[in-house]
Homo-oligomer: A and B are copies of this chain.
């Protein structure tokens, strides 16, 4: 049995170690501040936290919203501005786009497990895609065309706490 474990090799060890903490749906729109106001008025959403692009504060009237976390009943979802530097649009819908985020402590292992199951890795683990510029992000495309981003909840929380509160 111990011998069998060794023969199974690195890939199975990686796969069994992966833990997904949560799925988050992110709506990416041209004017996230307007969208947050709308979801509050239309659905009664409550804004839990907001992280903004640090470089944009001095340059623009409204800070660029990297991620506003909205609570709706027992669920949360994210609303973000579509950034110029976010690369090609993903999961485009109308004027916006939808991104699917998976929170996991080990991004590399999660990407490896998904690829073993048939997903296609989209580049190296990188930073700054619809998110905090400092936050590491892994990306895979599943066999059905959806793009999934992997991120670490710990890194995300630390990044959010380093932001000063935003008054709108």
> Taking beta carbons and an 8 Å cutoff, which residues of A are in contact with B?
18-25, 27, 29-30, 34-35, 38-39, 41-45, 72-77, 91-96, 98, 100, 102-103, 110, 113-114, 116-119, 140, 142-146, 148
Asked if A72 meets B143 with Cβ closer than 8 Å, knowing A20-B44, A77-B23, the reply is no
Q: Which residues of B contact A74 (CB under 8 A)?
A: 21-22
Whether A114 pairs with B42 at a CB distance below 8 angstroms is: yes
The CA-CA distance from A58 to B18 in the complex, in Å, is 39
Between A22, A76, A117, the greatest number of chain B beta carbons within 10 A of the residue's beta carbon is seen for A117
Is chain A's interface secondary structure helix, strand, loop, or mixed overall?
A: mixed
Q: Which residues of B contact A142 (CB under 8 A)?
A: 35, 38-39, 42
The CA-CA distance from A99 to B99 in the complex, in Å, is 12
The CA-CA distance from A107 to B5 in the complex, in Å, is 53
Q: Can you list 10 contacts pairing A with B, beta carbon distance less than 8 Å?
A: A20-B44, A21-B74, A23-B73, A23-B76, A25-B100, A30-B144, A43-B102, A43-B114, A92-B93, A93-B146
